[in-house]
Amino acid sequence: MLLSNRVAIITGGARGIGRGIALKFAEEGCSIVIADIITLEARKTVEEISSRGRNAFFITSDVSDSRQVQNMVDQAINKFGKVDILANVAGVGPHRQSIVDVIEEDWDKVIDINLKGVFLCCQAIVPHMKEKGYGKIINISSLAAICPAGPMVHYNASKAGVMALTTDLGTELAPFNICVNAIMPGIIRTHMLDQNVAPGTNKEDYYETMRKLVPMGRVGRPEDIAGAALFLASDLSSYMTGERILVAGGLPWKYIR
């Protein structure tokens, strides 16, 4: 197994992409810490992992709060003795809206969770990884960071910021054997994307429209992102850092070439 005897913290691991990554890592022998604010679904994910014979536990953690983030890291280390992998998945995706309609509170919320949250989690775990001389950090950005699908200035900016943070940390932490890479998901069917379905629109019709945009002919699944995350979490990617992987079924190159 690719992650035998490894320990991973996965923020936003209760559902969607985070849950997919948690299940995939556990399948490969990893012990899992689910960090989320969605208690019921987080506990269900932990139960599913435990039922498969893997170690898992849940920590309530708001990634935009530095005290909660540090507590998350401390609890994970106390529980397992180490943390080898950090997957920064927690995020929010607002509805499309023009910049003139974005209020300051909404801008702050999106940036605090999607960008500051990644910064705080990395800041909290890096001293431990440096001490151990090993670490894998995987940041979830978005195709929207380089090819915005619509006016969502706060979301698009936050995901572009994650890309810059990844590049910076990849360089800074390389001498310590800590690899920092990013995944840019394309159209992935999750609860977050469900929220973009306009009121009165049939959800299946919406996803059929999305499917037709993708050269591979289907909307992505959390498992598709989990496969890329597994590669970045394993030693198969030991000579990669500061990089980004686009997992989008052929988007956006169909439209910009």
Would you name the residues annotated as active-site residues? 155
pTM: 0.95
Angle at 40 between CA 34 and CA 42, to 5 degrees: 15
pLDDT > 90? residue 203: no
209 contacts 148 by C-beta, under 8 angstroms: no
CA dihedral over 225, 226, 229, 230, signed as positive or negative: negative
Q: Tens digit of pLDDT for each residue in 227-255? A: 999 999 999 999 999 999 999 999 876 55
Annotation: CATH topology of 7-256: Rossmann fold (3.40.50)
* Average pLDDT score, the chain: 94
Name which of 47, 127, 41 is nearest 83 in CA terms: 127
121, two tokens? 């989690």
| DSSP helix/strand/coil, 249 | coil
CA dist., res. 11 & res. 2, Å (int): 21
Q: Tens digit of pLDDT for each residue in 144-177? A: 999 887 788 999 999 999 999 999 999 999 999 9
CA dist., res. 76 & res. 7, Å (int): 9
CA dist., res. 46 & res. 82, Å (int): 19
Sequence spans of domains, the chain = 7-256
Number of Cβ atoms within 10 Å of the Cβ of 200: 5
The structure tokens 């995987």 sit at: 138
pLDDT > 50? residue 257: no
